[in-house]
Structure formats: C-alpha cells, structure tokens
Amino acid sequence: MIKVIISVKNNNIVKINILGHADYDDYGKDIVCSSASSIMTTTVNAILMFDKNYISYSQKKDDFAIIVRENNEIVANLLNNMINLLRELERDYPKNIKIEEEN
C-alpha cells in the first residue's frame, strides 16, 4: 500500500512523504503506482519551474519526500492540487493508497 503522510504546521504543508508500493499489480504494471508517481512528478516539476528554492525533494526506492522551503500561494495551490488528486486515487483504490495528515 502507498502511504502518503502530510505534515502540517501552522496550517501550512511543511512536508509530504510518499512511501511504499500500491501492490495493485507487479512493478512496472501497477496503474495506482504509475498514477501516484505521475501526480507527484508533475507537481514537483511545476513548483520547480517557478523557483527551485521553493521546495527540496528526495527520492529513494518506494520513498519520496517533498520538503517545503518557502510557503507561498503557488506552492500551497500546487501541493493542495496534488493532494486532491491523490485523494481521488485513494477513493478509487482504497486498498492501495492511504493518506494521513499529521500536525
């Protein structure tokens, strides 16, 4: 299962961790993992197009983290859009992706 952990401080997203594998299908054939990966990659690339200093990120096998370095309207809107898309995926595939928020 993919686990998305959204860390919030003072009503601002400060970090998003995306961990694990959806286990919907084998690696390379998993539509849930592909969808989550596309959503994350598109969001990170969009933020970095505005300013490379807004976020930092790290990627390891089955572990992706986005760290917000500058909270602003652009970053907030793009991250909230990403979360909304991941929530839609969670509604469609509740056995394969779970989203949690921590304060």
Residue 21, amino acid: H
**Quick one: how many helices (H) and strands (E) in the chain?**
2, 5
Beta-bridged to residue 16, according to DSSP, are 6, 66
SS3 21: coil
The tokens describing 102, both together, are 């921590």
Q: pLDDT-based confidence at 103, cuts 50/70/90? A: confident
Tens-place pLDDT, residues 4-27: 999 999 999 999 999 999 999 988
Q: What is the mean pLDDT of the chain?
A: 96
pLDDT of residue 7: 98
CATH ID of 2-102, from 3.30.70.1490, 3.40.630.30, 3.20.20.140, 3.90.1170.40: 3.30.70.1490
Alpha carbons 48 and 27: distance in angstroms, whole number? 28
Query: What is the structure's pLDDT at 62?
Result: 84
Give the predicted TM-score (pTM) of the model: 0.93
Given CA atoms 43, 102, 54, 2 in this order, what sign does their dihedral have?
negative
Residue 92 has which token pair? 């469609």
Domain ranges of the chain: 2-102
Annotated catalytic residues are: 21, 33
DSSP-derived secondary structure letter, 30:
-
In tens, the pLDDT along 23-53 reads: 999 888 999 999 999 999 999 999 999 999 9
